[in-house]
């Protein structure tokens, strides 16, 4: 396991395969990887067949002084059967040596060292196991089969910094390869060397069974260390007055409403508002009440003591002391709110501009290898009044390789997203043009959204969402409903509609895992192709503003490929990285990377222009407490 937030790209080759993968360490004990495996006759040849998959690794126990770490892994947990296998492994470090031993199922049980010990638990585990075939691997195949294999190895970390040596005994006997073609399987032993010349780069070279060579390259980086919105600021945040005039003869409490910037840590804006009141009001004001608001969504009201704030600014106190004396609540008693002296402050300038650099790539294609498309999206937003927002976006498409989908897959004008190549082939399209109405309940626990217009690149229509997100709680519930109309990619700017309607909606739930920056999401309902199913997601909210999501969707309909395989599953990884602090880029700009299957119809959701949970995240208790030290910046 790596440090949470580590993103890794790797490539390796071992006859007859070339592997490429993108993995992410979502939590201390959970790693998820998207992998594409190509069957090749030679390194310079085109792939003869592709075997994609989603790989998972979960640590069950951590290593202690006397006990090993234990992990469970699933290779091609969702994906092609040829690479599929599961394992349970234990690893223990002793001085400069690291020992590993484990049991394998599926491909890694082909050594047939023992009978499957899980057979005694039920018929599921005793079922026959196909080690190849066009139907995808799934939960019904996990840990099944009559036999399992035993594997093990040792790694020695040499005195040379970054250099280690490895010896392994494998449990893979290449059964699928020997059955499918004339393949000379290597002996199960291997020896290799790994070298890290610089931090974040790993090189590997090994010999397998005395006659096959393995080579690998891995690049890794911690997302938390990438540039983001939270760079060190050298000047206090400036706020503008947009209404009202504070009364210097006001009572002990002074109050403002803060129209917050969602791309700036909220505590930093709260501190700026408090300093503004301290500078503008008379010395009688001993406490400041700051009501928060983003795009018309109401957030908590904070009551800060003037003395604690001034002491912290002078470095005679701390943000923690401000927090201990502060009152943070959905709404404060009416008796504490002054009747005069209130005004509205904002950190936003309207209209707002944003540049999104959007890249979508798929490692999960059996028929077309790695697919990709890139776009630059220029967005602008205008707040018409407190509860009304409008937005517009232009998408500039860069070169892509989606054109091959038209040759190998059936295209339909009424498809959900299988006609993505027709949209990506346009140089410039109207990405969005919408109007939105936002509203929150008086206590800020309920939020509502109505949107109409061009909602995203492929769909227009009308719809809305409601969200119940009680302040200070780790759970939230919501629902959304859309009447989506497909846009015509062959029209100017994709601006006309094809007439195909899709009624789509979901019930949704979120749970923030305590003491982490992870949120589990679940939604169930009707997707764009009319299929019924559910999506499970795990999202990491990094402190620098990055957001990483892993998701899997299963529905009652399936997509097919030219090889006769079908899948009911749609899964992937998404990364959003703020870059609005880069020179010459507008605030709120982002790099968006999505490693997802492209050109699929099942499991597809509308890309809402203002998803409620993400829109209200800056107003959440989690966000405020994580960034509270910035209240004195």
| pLDDT score of 328 more than 50 | yes
Pair 378, 338 in one domain? no
Residue with tokens 């917050």: 260
Decide if 353 is inside a domain.
Answer: no
Q: How far apart are CA 121 and CA 576, in angstroms?
A: 43
Cis peptide before 351 (omega within 30 of 0): yes
Q: Which of 188-197, 400-409, 564-573, 596-605 has the highest mean pLDDT?
A: 188-197
Decide if 361 is inside a domain.
Answer: no
Q: How far apart are CA 145 and CA 141, in angstroms?
A: 8
Q: How far apart are CA 463 and CA 279, in angstroms?
A: 45
Specify the pTM: 0.84
Q: How far apart are CA 581 and CA 97, in angstroms?
A: 44
**In angstroms, what CA-CA distances link 572 with 364, 549, 590?**
9, 8, 19
Contacts by residues 583-588 (CB-CB < 8 Å, ≥ 24 positions apart)? 585/355, 586/352, 586/353, 586/354, 586/355, 587/261, 587/263, 587/264, 587/352, 587/354, 588/262, 588/263, 588/352, 588/354
Pair 266, 120 in one domain? no
CA 540 to chain centre: 7
Mention every residue, 6+ apart, whose C-beta is less than 8 A from residue 281. 246, 247, 248, 250, 254, 341
Mean pLDDT of the chain: 87
Report strand pairing: 287-294 vs 497-512: unpaired
Degrees (nearest 5) of the Cα angle 123, 129, 131?
165
Residues 268-297: tens digit of each pLDDT: 889 888 888 887 766 667 888 888 989 889
Pair 341, 394 in one domain? no
Decide if 466 is inside a domain.
Answer: yes
Q: How confident is the model at residue 486 (pLDDT cuts 50, 70, 90)?
A: very high
Q: How many CA atoms lie within 13 A of 345 on its CB side?
A: 27
Pair 251, 182 in one domain? no
pLDDT of residue 12: 94
pLDDT of residue 467: 97
**In angstroms, what CA-CA distances link 450 with 261, 434, 466, 500, 502?**
21, 10, 9, 21, 17
Q: Which two tokens stand for residue 92?
A: 């223990």
pLDDT of residue 563: 54
pLDDT of residue 427: 93
Nearest one of 449, 404, 457, 463 to 429, comparing CA atoms: 457
Residues 9-48: tens digit of each pLDDT: 999 999 899 999 999 998 889 999 989 898 887 666 677 7
Q: Which residue has the higher pLDDT, 49 or 474?
A: 474
Q: How far apart are CA 185 and CA 201, in angstroms?
A: 30
| Residue 323 · residue 305 · CB < 8 Å | no
SS (H, E, C) 300-331: EEEEEEHHHHHHHHCCCCCHHHHHHHCEEECC
| pLDDT score of 70 more than 50 | yes
pLDDT of residue 244: 47
Residues 216-271: tens digit of each pLDDT: 999 999 887 777 654 444 455 556 554 444 444 445 667 788 888 888 889 988 98
Decide if 359 is inside a domain.
Answer: no
Pair 424, 306 in one domain? no
Q: Which of 200, 225, 250 is the last residue of a domain?
A: 225
- Continuous segment of H or E residues that includes residue 466: strand 459-468
Q: How far apart are CA 291 and CA 276, in angstroms?
A: 14
Mention every residue, 6+ apart, whose C-beta is less than 8 A from residue 199. none
Decide if 244 is inside a domain.
Answer: yes
Q: How confident is the model at residue 549 (pLDDT cuts 50, 70, 90)?
A: very high
pLDDT of residue 543: 82
pLDDT of residue 252: 62
Q: How far apart are CA 143 and CA 273, in angstroms?
A: 58
Q: How far apart are CA 631 and CA 308, in angstroms?
A: 11
| pLDDT score of 570 more than 70 | yes
Q: Which residue has the higher pLDDT, 46 or 52?
A: 52
pLDDT of residue 342: 60
Decide if 59 is inside a domain.
Answer: yes
Summarize the confidence of residues 359-368 as an average pLDDT: 79
pLDDT of residue 87: 97
pLDDT of residue 231: 45
Q: To 10 degrees, the CA torsion angle through 524, 528, 532, 535? A: -40
Pair 157, 217 in one domain? yes
Residues 151-174: tens digit of each pLDDT: 999 999 999 999 999 999 999 999
pLDDT of residue 343: 75
Query: Could you give the percent of the chain with pLDDT greater than 90?
Result: 51
pLDDT of residue 339: 41
The mean-pLDDT minimum among 125-139, 458-472, 562-576, 600-614 falls in 562-576
Pair 255, 302 in one domain? yes
Q: Which residue has the higher pLDDT, 340 or 155?
A: 155
Name the residue range of residue 15's domain. Answer: 6-225
Pair 207, 260 in one domain? no
| Residue 250 · residue 284 · CB < 8 Å | yes
Domain count for the chain, please give it.
3
Decide if 235 is inside a domain.
Answer: no
Pair 547, 409 in one domain? yes
Q: How many CA atoms lie within 13 A of 454 on its CB side?
A: 19
């Amino acid at each position: 396991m790596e440090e949470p937030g580590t993103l890794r790209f790797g490539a390796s080759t071992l006859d007859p395969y070339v592997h490429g993968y993108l993995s992410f360490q979502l939590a201390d004990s959970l790693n998820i990887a998207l992998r594409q495996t190509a069957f090749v006759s030679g390194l310079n040849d085109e792939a003869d067949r592709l075997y994609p998959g989603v790989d998972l690794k979960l640590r069950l126990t951590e290593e202690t002084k006397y006990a090993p770490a234990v992990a469970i892994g699933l290779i091609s947990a969702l994906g092609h059967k040829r690479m599929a296998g599961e394992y349970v492994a234990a690893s223990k470090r002793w001085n400069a040596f690291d020992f590993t031993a484990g049991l394998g199922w599926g491909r890694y049980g082909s050594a047939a060292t023992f009978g499957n010990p899980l057979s005694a638990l039920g018929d599921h585990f005793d079922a026959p196991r196909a080690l190849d075939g066009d139907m995808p691997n799934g939960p019904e195949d996990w840990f099944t089969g009559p036999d399992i294999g035993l594997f093990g190895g040792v790694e020695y970390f040499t005195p040379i910094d970054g250099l280690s040596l490895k010896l392994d005994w494998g449990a893979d006997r290449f059964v699928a390869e020997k059955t499918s073609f004339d393949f000379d399987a290597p002996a199960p032993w291997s020896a290799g060397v790994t070298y890290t010349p610089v931090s974040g780069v790993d090189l590997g070279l090994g010999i397998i069974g005395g006659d096959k060579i393995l080579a690998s390259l891995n690049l890794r980086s911690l997302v938390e260390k990438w540039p983001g919105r939270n760079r060190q600021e050298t000047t206090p945040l400036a706020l503008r007055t947009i209404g009202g005039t504070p009364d210097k003869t006001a009572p002990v409490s002074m109050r403002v409403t803060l129209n917050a910037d969602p791309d700036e840590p909220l505590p930093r804006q709260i501190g700026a508002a408090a300093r503004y009141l301290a500078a503008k009001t008379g010395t009688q004001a001993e406490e400041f009440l700051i009501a928060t608001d983003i795009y018309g969504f109401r957030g908590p009201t904070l009551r800060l003591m003037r003395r604690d704030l001034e002491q912290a600014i002078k470095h005679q106190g701390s943000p923690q002391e401000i927090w201990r004396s502060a009152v943070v609540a959905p709404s404060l008693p009416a008796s504490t709110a002054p009747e005069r002296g209130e005004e509205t402050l904002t950190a936003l300038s309207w209209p707002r501009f944003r540049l999104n650099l959007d890249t979508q790539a798929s490692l999960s294609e059996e028929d077309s290898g790695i697919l990709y498309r890139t776009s630059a999206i220029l967005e602008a937003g205008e707040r018409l009044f407190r509860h009304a927002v409008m937005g517009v976006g232009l998408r500039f498409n860069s070169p892509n390789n989606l054109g091959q989908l038209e040759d190998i897959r059936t295209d339909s004008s009424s498809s959900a997203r299988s006609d993505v190549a027709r949209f990506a082939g346009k140089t410039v399209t109207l990405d969005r043009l919408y109007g939105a109405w936002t509203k929150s309940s008086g206590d800020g626990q309920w939020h509502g959204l109505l949107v109409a217009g061009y909602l995203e690149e492929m769909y227009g229509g009308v719809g809305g969402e409601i969200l119940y997100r009680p302040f200070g709680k780790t759970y939230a519930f919501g629902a959304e409903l859309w009447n989506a109309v497909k846009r015509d990619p062959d029209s100017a700017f994709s601006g006309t509609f094809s007439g195909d309607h899709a009624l789509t909606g979901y019930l949704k739930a979120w749970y923030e895992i305590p003491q982490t920056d992870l949120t589990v999401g679940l939604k169930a309902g009707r997707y764009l192709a009319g299929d019924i199913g559910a999506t499970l997601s795990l999202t990491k909210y990094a402190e620098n503003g990055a957001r990483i999501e892993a998701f899997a969707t299963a529905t009652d309909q399936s997509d097919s490929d030219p090889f006769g395989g079908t899948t009911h599953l749609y899964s992937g990884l998404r990364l959003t990285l703020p870059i609005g602090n880069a020179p010459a880029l507008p605030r709120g700009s982002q790099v968006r990377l999505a490693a997802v299957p492209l050109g699929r119809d099942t499991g597809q959701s509308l890309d809402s222009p203002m998803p409620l949970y993400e829109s209200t995240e800056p107003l959440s208790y989690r966000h405020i407490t994580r960034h509270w030290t910035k209240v004195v910046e």
